[in-house]
């Protein structure tokens, strides 16, 4: 949510930002907010004048009573009652309008960083840099689900019976490799100086609307029937929500956290759920990184964070690239975002394994996360980034370490988490 001062001072900037995101249907919101804001300020001014008048009259009543002028005092009392009734009506109208302003403001996109490329959708995202040489082996690499099944590590049929499409059982060494990737990611981030955290896996609706847009919520979140609770789609949600309504000490910034959680997503829309594979599923696990910092430090942290994910995957012998999200692909709360994509030697193309975003003060403003510095109180900046989400991370490791004999070579950094096993082969 942007600062309403932007609309008051420079609504053309806000409108141009909307146009750059190809959301012209939202342009009218800016004018509507401006008109409502003018009316609210008029109501506040009138209310302040009425309160001053009431205070003055209340003072006169005491004087008149002491002077024995009871009739005049009673007239003043009648006027106070009338003012109170006027104030009640004004405050009710003000509350309705402020609620309407907030609802409209939450639909207006955050102001993007000037460096964000302009484009209509993800097909116009821009490659930034490649890390590691993509390898095309001289032998065929099977589909990842087939590889895992041949190694006795996947059972989607049983998951279909117990839970439904989009779920899975991982077993044996494959389940162990899956856990090893997450454990290594945890230690990788701890070694970067981040504090490890396991957050709640459910959050209330006020936290949900504080960390994401309504459109994202409807497409992603699972609601707990009969309770004001949602299953998290990423631990970022509960990690940022932890600071809701808090005045953070400026000397504690930056706050750098890394969190583990299972994640639950509807995955509604065009992408759908994979029938056989593990690329797009309803349930997965993730190691996340979250940073709260001063606004002038946000871009420095943004660049550090995505570089950590690149470093992580390169240590697993997985070639990756970074892809800048264009304006039309950028979620409404984000200032700037990039994806980290892993090389798929089977498909001979890259696929997304992580996403890094800086959100400015959008989440902090919605959730009321502030700090106090030399120049007064201000909202902190929030950032989030995927260290690794798996099974996607598992797929990347499997494909890039698949051997001609059907076995999987275990990257050296994972071997200690696998009890010293150097490869997975069919038993």
Nearest of 346, 345, 339, 300 to residue 318 by alpha carbon: 345
- The CATH number of whichever domain residue 100 belongs to comes to 1.10.287.40
Residue 116, in any domain of the structure: no
List the single range of 80-89, 199-208, 268-277, 337-346 with lowest mean pLDDT.
268-277
* CB count in 10 Å sphere of residue 342: 25
**Model confidence at 269: pLDDT above 60:** no
Rounded Cα gap, residues 26 and 110, in angstroms:
13
**Model confidence at 301: pLDDT above 90:** yes
**Model confidence at 315: pLDDT above 60:** yes
- Which residues, 6 or more positions from 334, have their beta carbon under 8 angstroms from its beta carbon? 110, 112, 325, 357, 358, 359, 362
List the single range of 72-76, 157-161, 279-283, 309-313 with lowest mean pLDDT.
72-76
Q: What is the mean pLDDT of residues 104-116?
A: 95
**Model confidence at 19: pLDDT above 90:** yes
Res. 169 pLDDT band, cuts 50 70 90: very high
Task: Answer yes or no: do 169 and 20 share one domain.
Answer: no
Res. 344 pLDDT band, cuts 50 70 90: very high
Task: Answer yes or no: do 80 and 158 share one domain.
Answer: no
Task: Answer yes or no: do 232 and 294 share one domain.
Answer: yes
Nearest of 218, 212, 255 to residue 237 by alpha carbon: 212
Nearest of 92, 89, 49, 44 to residue 57 by alpha carbon: 49
Q: What is the mean pLDDT of residues 52-56?
A: 89
237-268: b (≥16 Cβ within 10 Å) or e: bbbbbbbbeeebeeeebbbbbbbbbebbbebe
**Boundary (domain end) residue, out of 105, 132, 161:** 105
Res. 65 pLDDT band, cuts 50 70 90: confident
- Which residues, 6 or more positions from 112, have their beta carbon under 8 angstroms from its beta carbon? 17, 20, 21, 327, 330, 334, 335, 336
Sign of the torsion formed by the C-alpha atoms of 128, 255, 204 and 334: negative
Number of domains the chain contains: 2
Rounded Cα gap, residues 298 and 296, in angstroms:
6
Task: Answer yes or no: do 225 and 91 share one domain.
Answer: no
Q: Is the pTM of this model over 0.95?
A: no
Could you report the per-residue pLDDT of 175-229, keeping only the tens digit for each?
999 999 999 999 999 999 999 999 999 999 999 989 987 677 777 889 999 999 9
Task: Answer yes or no: do 98 and 129 share one domain.
Answer: no
- The CATH number of whichever domain residue 235 belongs to comes to 3.30.930.10
Residue 381, in any domain of the structure: yes
User: 214 vs 415, which has greater pLDDT?
Assistant: 415
User: 180 vs 66, which has greater pLDDT?
Assistant: 180
Q: What is the mean pLDDT of residues 159-177?
A: 94
Q: What is the mean pLDDT of residues 95-107?
A: 94
Cis preceding linkage at 254, omega within 30: yes
Task: Answer yes or no: do 148 and 253 share one domain.
Answer: yes
Residue 110 in contact with residue 360, Cβ under 8 Å?
A: yes
Tell me 135's DSSP state. Answer: -
**Model confidence at 58: pLDDT above 90:** no
For the sheet with 376-379, list strands across it.
Answer: 247-248, 370-373, 376-379
Task: Answer yes or no: do 72 and 27 share one domain.
Answer: yes
Task: Answer yes or no: do 95 and 222 share one domain.
Answer: no
- Which residues, 6 or more positions from 141, have their beta carbon under 8 angstroms from its beta carbon? 147, 345, 346, 399, 402
**Range(s) of the domain holding residue 202:** 122-424
User: 215 vs 371, which has greater pLDDT?
Assistant: 371
Res. 274 pLDDT band, cuts 50 70 90: low
Q: What is the pLDDT of residue 271?
A: 58
Residue 264, in any domain of the structure: yes
Res. 275 pLDDT band, cuts 50 70 90: low
Q: What is the mean pLDDT of residues 239-243?
A: 97
Residue 200, in any domain of the structure: yes
**Boundary (domain end) residue, out of 105, 136, 161:** 105
* CB count in 10 Å sphere of residue 274: 16
**Boundary (domain end) residue, out of 105, 131, 155:** 105
Task: Answer yes or no: do 153 and 71 share one domain.
Answer: no
Mean pLDDT, the chain, whole residue set: 93
Task: Answer yes or no: do 131 and 101 share one domain.
Answer: no
Residue 111, in any domain of the structure: no
Q: What is the pLDDT of residue 74?
A: 84
Q: How far is CA 351 from the centre of its chain?
A: 20
User: 215 vs 306, which has greater pLDDT?
Assistant: 306
First to last CA, the chain: 55
Task: Answer yes or no: do 137 and 254 share one domain.
Answer: yes
Res. 282 pLDDT band, cuts 50 70 90: very high
Task: Answer yes or no: do 99 and 171 share one domain.
Answer: no
């Amino acid at each position: 949510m942007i600062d309403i001062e932007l609309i008051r001072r420079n609504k053309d900037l806000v409108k141009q930002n909307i146009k750059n995101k190809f959301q012209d249907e939202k342009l009218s919101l800016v004018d509507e907010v401006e008109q409502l804001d003018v009316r609210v300020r008029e109501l506040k001014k009138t209310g302040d004048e009425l309160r001053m008048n009431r205070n003055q009259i209340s003072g006169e009543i005491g004087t008149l009573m002491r002077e024995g002028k009871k009739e005049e005092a009673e007239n003043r009392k009648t006027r106070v009652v009338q003012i109170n009734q006027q104030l009640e009506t004004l405050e009710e109208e003000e509350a309705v309008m402020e609620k309407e302003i907030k609802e409209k403001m939450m639909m207006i996109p955050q102001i993007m960083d000037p460096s964000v490329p302009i484009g209509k959708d993800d097909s116009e995202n821009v490659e930034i840099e490649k890390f590691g040489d993509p390898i095309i082996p001289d032998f065929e690499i099977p589909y990842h689900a087939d590889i895992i099944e041949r190694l006795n590590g996947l059972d989607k049929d049983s998951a279909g019976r117990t839970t439904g499409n989009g779920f899975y059982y991982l077993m044996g060494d494959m389940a162990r490799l899956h856990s090893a990737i997450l454990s290594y990611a945890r230690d990788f981030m701890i070694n970067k100086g981040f504090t490890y955290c396991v957050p709640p896996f459910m959050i209330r609706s006020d936290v949900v609307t504080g960390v994401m847009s309504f459109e994202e919520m409807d497409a992603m979140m699972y609601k707990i029937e009969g309770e004001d609770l949602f299953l998290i789609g990423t631990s970022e949600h509960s990690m940022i929500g932890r600071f809701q309504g808090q005045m953070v000490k400026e000397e504690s910034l930056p706050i750098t956290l890394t969190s583990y959680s299972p994640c639950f997503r509807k995955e509604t829309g065009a992408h759908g759920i994979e029938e056989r594979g593990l690329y797009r599923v309803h349930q997965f696990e993730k190691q996340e990184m979250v940073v709260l910092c001063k606004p002038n430090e946000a871009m420095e942290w943004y660049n550090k964070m995505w570089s950590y994910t690149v470093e992580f995957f390169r240590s697993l012998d997985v070639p990756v690239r970074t892809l800048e999200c264009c304006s039309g692909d950028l979620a409404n709360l984000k200032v700037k975002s990039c994806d980290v994509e892993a090389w798929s030697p089977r498909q001979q193309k890259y696929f997304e394994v992580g996403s890094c975003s800086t959100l400015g003060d959008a989440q902090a403003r919605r959730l009321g996360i502030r700090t106090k510095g030399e120049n007064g109180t201000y909202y902190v900046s929030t950032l989030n980034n995927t260290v690794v989400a798996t099974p996607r991370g598992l797929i990347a490791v499997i494909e890039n370490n698949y051997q001609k004999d059907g076995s999987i070579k275990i990257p050296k950094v994972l071997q200690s988490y696998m009890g010293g096993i150097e490869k997975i082969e069919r038993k």
